[in-house]
Structure 1
Amino acid sequence: MNHETAHILLVDDEPNILKSLGRILKNHSITIANSGAEALAQALAINFDIVISDYRMPEMDGITFLEKFMAMQPDAIRIIVTGYADLEAAQNAINTLGVFRFINKPWNNLEIINAVEKGLELKRILQENKALADQVRQQQARLNEQEAIIKALEAEEPGITKVNWAPDGSIILDESELDDDIKF
């Protein structure tokens, strides 16, 4: 996913922060929001790969916003940026919201770029895992269906599913099991 354009939602009440993040992530499709409420409205219209939210915003803080956002788009990778080093809040966000990264302001641009790249990689892996799990469930359902058919056939005609193969691939018939009216 590194070479694909990701849909990223940037949420911060400071326009300069949004501009700065937008410049850093200019290779992606960026949507900006000045508040949690505005960001939630955007999330109704657009599916995002990543959301980067400020931790402290008026009206709705980053944690409240991300809780609501997560209910709408649980597969989006969540990143919080903050100017406040609040370890307890960071731990809470990581544990309850599955926040992928907690980045302090001012940040190093490479830190943001790396967090986005690693977040996109995680999202791709999680999507692949989900697709593989779905495929396994489908295959298991088919196997269960085939097993039920085989059991039904065996119940109706015991031994019908047992085939005696010859080394050349032909089927060996046991003449003692043949009906009397079938003779060779």
Structure 2
Amino acid sequence: MNATTVRVLYIDDEEHNLHAFKASFRRQYEIYTANSAEEGLKILQSVSVHVIIADQKMPQTTGVEFFKSISDTYPDPIRILLTGYTDIEALADAINHGDIYRYITKPWNDLELHNSMKNAYDAYKAKIDLKNKIAELEKTNDELNRFIYSISHELRAPLVSAMGIVNLVKMEGLFESSGEYWGLIETCSNKLDYYVQKTLQYYKNNKTVFEHTSIDFAKLIPE
């Protein structure tokens, strides 16, 4: 890890903690500090940070509440919570909601906090790599679907022509007099047309957008 490229935001209402944090890690990380959740949010709006560290006990909001408030807008940064030993309920709440990567007890140990930030950045990179790979797969899948749709249409055009010729032969009364060849052509054409239409149906089904809605089972099940 090239630590100088890692951007860390630390939010704490106690100024001496902010100064101590910056003094301890400014040579290893690109440090941003905020003395309130509101100030931290302003920094997030202008700086793309990799790791966010927030103190649990702050006057206007808790660290857990702050993490919850930014989870939709800023989902990528990895979150670390600083807390005292008595905040067990807050820790359980944060972990259950998936808002924190880990927690560090105060007062922190510099080596422990450094290792946590290093591991958090590794988790951030893995998270971004996964998102990029998913995006690439979705793009490839979309291109493949469009290719299948295009090829299926191109295949069906000559098939329809061949089937039309077979019908014309039938209308002219030449179908039976030509032996089994026209029957074989008709059978093969129908079979290939069946698979082409199945392929087109798969493409259409794959493009369908599903809407998820919640179900109130209490209303469905009579008392």
Please give the TM-score of this superposition, normalised by the length of structure 2: 0.66
Bigger helix fraction: 2
1:87 and 2:88 correspond: yes
Which of these two proteins has the greater Rg computed from alpha carbons?
Answer: 2
Query: Per-residue deviation at 1:125?
Result: 0.6
User: Is the contact made by 1:8 and 1:29 (CA closer than 8 Å) also made in structure 2?
Assistant: yes
Matched to 2:48, the amino acid is: N
Q: Which has the higher contact order (CA 8 A, sep 6+)?
A: 1
Distance across 2 between alignment mates of 1:82 and 1:113 = 16
- Runs of 4+ that moved beyond 6 A: none
User: How big is the shift at 1:20?
Assistant: 1.9
Partner of 2:2: 3
User: Which residue of 1 is the match for residue 22 of structure 2?
Assistant: 22
Gap regions ≥5 residues in structure 1: 159-176, 178-184
Partner of 1:59: 60
| Partner residue in 2 for 1:171 | none
Contact in 2 for aligned 1:85/1:104 (Cα 8 Å): no
The offset of 1:9, in angstroms, is: 0.8
* Structure 2: distance between partners of 1:140 and 1:7: 34
Alpha carbon RMSD of aligned pairs, Å?
1.7
Which residue does 2:75 correspond to in 1?
A: 74
CA distance in 1, matches of 2:142, 2:63: 42
For 2:72 and 2:21, the matched residues in 1 are separated by: 25
- 1:48 is paired with a residue whose SS is coil
CA drift of 1:97 comes to 4.3
Give 1:70 shift: 2.5
Contact kept in structure 1, 2:67 and 2:99, CA below 8 Å: no
Whole-Å separation in 1 of the counterparts to 2:63 and 2:158: 66
Correspondence 1:79-118 to 2 at 5 A: 79-118=80-119
Aligned-pair CA distance for 1:17: 1.3
Once the two structures are superposed, residues 121-149 of structure 1 have per-residue CA deviations (whole angstroms, 9 ceiling, x without a partner) of 01101111111111111111111111111
In 2, the alpha carbon distance for the partners of 1:149 and 1:66 equals: 46
Contact 1:43–1:69 at 8 Å: present in 2 too? no
Aligned partners of 1:97 and 1:46: how far apart in 2? 23
Cα contact 2:15–2:35 (8 A) shared by 1: yes
- Superposed displacement of residue 48, structure 1: 1.3
Aligned partner of residue 72 in structure 1, secondary structure: coil
Q: Residue in 2 aligned with 1:122? A: 123
Q: Give the fraction of aligned pairs with identical amino acids, expressed as a percent.
A: 28
Count of residue correspondences: 158
CA distance in 1, matches of 2:116, 2:92: 17
**1:117 CA drift (Å):** 0.7
| Counterpart in the other structure of 2:199 | none
SS at match of 1:52: strand
- Pair 1:44-2:45 in alignment: yes
Structure 1 residue aligned with 2:152: 151
- Give yes or no for contact 1:50–1:116 (8 Å, CA) kept in 2: yes
Corresponding residue SS for 1:56: coil
Contact 2:8-2:32 within 8 A present in 1 as well: yes
Aligned to 1:162: none
